[in-house]
Amino acid sequence: MTKRQLEVLIWNRECETMPRTDLRSLQLRRLRETVARAYQRVPFYRRALDSRGVKPEDIRTLEDLRRLSFTVKSDLRDNYPFGLFAEPLAQIVRVHASSGTTGKPIVAGYTRHDLDIWTEVMARVLAAGGVTDRDVVHNAYGHGLFTGGFGFHQGAERVGATVVPVASGLTKRQLMLIEDFGATVLCCTPSYSLVIAEAAADEGIDIGFRWQLRVGFFGAEPWSERMREEIEEKLHLHAVNIYGLTEIVGPGVAVECPFQQGMHIAEDHFLAEVIDPETGEPLGYGQKGELVFTTLTKEGMPMLRYRTRDLTTLDDEPCPCGRTLVRMDRVTGRTDDMLIIRGVNVYPSQIEWALLQVAGLEPQYVIVVDRQRDSLDELEIRVETTAKLHAEGAAALAAAQAEANRLMHQALGLSATVMVVPPGALPRSEGKAQRVIDKRQR
Ligand code: AMP
Ligand code: ZN
């Protein structure tokens, strides 16, 4: 396919192309408001500031941000479910959630105003890919606690497009709807887009001839330039990278413009820093480290210096598209062991927890993640049994395996294959146990 350049379309010219000096003063004003609100309304933040002897009034410049402590995922867990909300539930009109390190999810709460801001940043995302009221948006992100489906839904409605909230799964039906409704825009995880492409090929559908897809918005999991080429070629569309996370708002935190030199961060709402993950020291533009966000306009659940665990670099060079917002590079890795499997966050600790609920299984296990060409991720967990269970024979082993499978599904919210193996069957390592074998290569 010859690649047509996407047109440059900017949803909110005033905010997205603001001179950086003006942007910085706006950020400072909003930062001060956010810190004051968090201090007054959230005991967790009050304690965090007090422990450093910092008062909200001490934040006088953007650099003073460094005086605040970091917020991490376990703080959300410790304050589960609503402890970090800065508004009473009467003002919270929506919650979303994402998997945490244990069985309990990470919860986010939104006021009406928060939903409005989220919708605005999602409208910017869609406009960045050239979407207008002439488009039909096939939204195959999950609609539920996961933020993807609702985020795209809201943004697509705001730009006036015709949105089809199809959600994920039932791929054959998706093929029919994409064709019959004349979808021009596809929203889903990058891996699911290839499943759609493959299913279409199996049905003998000539996508370039029969479908009208023009652009796709892909995110929620890591993907590569190679995968972009593959998606663009198979689905005959422009593939746009989008980034976001539940703790900050969901999708809409950052999006690529047609120049594809990284994703512009909606910095008037989310203040970005990159830090050295070891020392916590802020790093300059162009230096790779852990991405940290402070929300600037969120009412329901403000976040101060939230460590995303995502590794990237920031680039503040002017972009030919005219946006003045900094760009973040593709996420190149994580500082923790979180895996993203079929778009769902999975921690080895959750897997271990589920295994250890089953009598007769040992904490000796290996997690194997694989992806065959154009199919979804497969998750297999091999776990050793105790000698006692092993001696009980096949029926007992099968029962333990079935129980482990059931609990795994419950704990992770996705299907996995647990295989019990005899005691001592798995390789032992001399140092850190290598628990995860990720064979997915793109
Ligand atoms: P969730 O809160 O469940 O939506 O998960 C958010 C996490 O998904 C982020 O912290 C990233 O690790 C990952 N993620 C989201 N978008 C992307 C993307 N475009 N590329 C790589 N990873 C992503
Ligand atoms: Zn740009």
Q: Which has more pLDDT, 359 or 373?
A: 359
| Distance from C-alpha of 16 to C-alpha of 28, rounded to nearest angstrom | 17
Q: Is the pLDDT of residue 406 over 60?
A: yes
Q: Which of 231, 17, 233 is nearest to 127 (CA)?
A: 17
Domains of the chain: 1-335 (3.40.50.12780), 339-441 (3.30.300.30)
Instruction: State phi, psi for 7 to the nearest 5 degrees.
Output: -75, 150
Which of 146, 264, 345 has most ligand 1 atoms within 8 Å of its beta carbon, as the pocket-test mutant? 345
Q: Is the pLDDT of residue 70 over 90?
A: yes
Averaged pLDDT, 89-118: 93
Index of the ligand 1 atom closest to the CA of residue 246 = 2
State pLDDT tens for residues 123-136.
999 999 999 999 99
CB of 246 sitting under 6 A from ligand 1: yes
Index of the ligand 1 atom closest to the CA of residue 310 = 12
CB of 191 sitting under 6 A from ligand 1: no
Q: Which ligand gives the minimal distance to the CA of 241?
A: 1
Distance 6 CA to ligand 2 centre (A): 12
| CA-to-CA dists, residue 26 to 23, 33, 336, angstroms | 5, 11, 33
Least confident of 52-56, 83-87, 423-427: 423-427
Distance 265 CA to ligand 2 centre (A): 10
CB of 222 sitting under 6 A from ligand 1: yes
Tokens in use for 431?
Answer: 């140092």
| Distance from C-alpha of 56 to C-alpha of 76, rounded to nearest angstrom | 22
User: What pLDDT, on a 0 to 100 scale, did the predictor assign at position 1?
Assistant: 41
Distance 192 CA to ligand 1 centre (A): 15
What are the strands of the beta sheet with 361-370, ordered from one edge?
Answer: 417-421, 378-385, 361-370, 436-438
Q: Which has more pLDDT, 431 or 146?
A: 146
Q: Is the pLDDT of residue 374 over 80?
A: no
Which of 228, 290, 310, 338 has most ligand 1 atoms within 8 Å of its beta carbon, as the pocket-test mutant? 310
Find where tokens 């919708």 sit: 119
Contact 18, 269 (CB under 8 A): no
Name the burial class of residue 85, with classes exposed (0-12), middle (13-18) and buried (19+) by CB atoms within 10 angstroms of its CB. Answer: buried
Q: With cut-offs at 50, 70 and 90, classify the pLDDT of residue 364.
A: confident
